[in-house]
């Protein structure tokens, strides 16, 4: 999808974030729409990307997901999400919006 590519997020990374297969994602993208109603993980991942685009340049989201981050004790945001701790990423987004994290 256009917004995924604009955020610099590859299909494999988005599939990993969404906990779905690349094939499923490719099929949905070929239809030119994601079946968000049918797939909660795709919906949640899209919301995360949109929230991140509010606090950083959307073209930097992909690289940011793969960069080690002090907020996450030196792990990458992608590692944190894959470990089932996406709430830490949402907490970082909240604090950034509120001006408590830069």
For residue 31, the enclosing domain spans: 2-97
Asked whether residue 102 is assigned to any structural domain, the reply reads: no
pTM, 2 dp: 0.76
Asked whether residue 60 is assigned to any structural domain, the reply reads: yes
Q: pLDDT grade, residue 1 (50/70/90)?
A: low
pLDDT at residue 16 is higher than 90: no
**Cβ neighbours around 64 below 10 Å, total:** 18
**How many domains in the chain?**
1
Asked whether residue 65 is assigned to any structural domain, the reply reads: yes
pLDDT reported for residue 63: 92
pLDDT reported for residue 21: 85
pLDDT reported for residue 37: 53
Asked whether residue 72 is assigned to any structural domain, the reply reads: yes
pLDDT in tens, 21-77: 888 888 877 876 655 555 677 788 889 999 999 999 998 999 999 999 998 999 999
């Amino acid at each position: 999808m256009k917004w995924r590519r604009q955020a610099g997020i590859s299909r494999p990374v988005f599939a990993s974030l969404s906990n779905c297969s690349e094939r499923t994602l490719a099929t949905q993208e070929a239809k030119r729409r994601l079946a968000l109603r049918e797939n909660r993980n795709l919906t949640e991942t899209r919301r995360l990307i949109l929230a991140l685009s509010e606090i950083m340049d959307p073209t930097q989201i992909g690289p940011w997901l793969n960069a080690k981050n002090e907020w996450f004790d030196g792990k990458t945001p992608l590692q944190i999400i894959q470990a089932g701790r996406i709430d830490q990423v949402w907490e970082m987004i909240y604090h950034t919006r509120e001006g408590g994290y830069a």
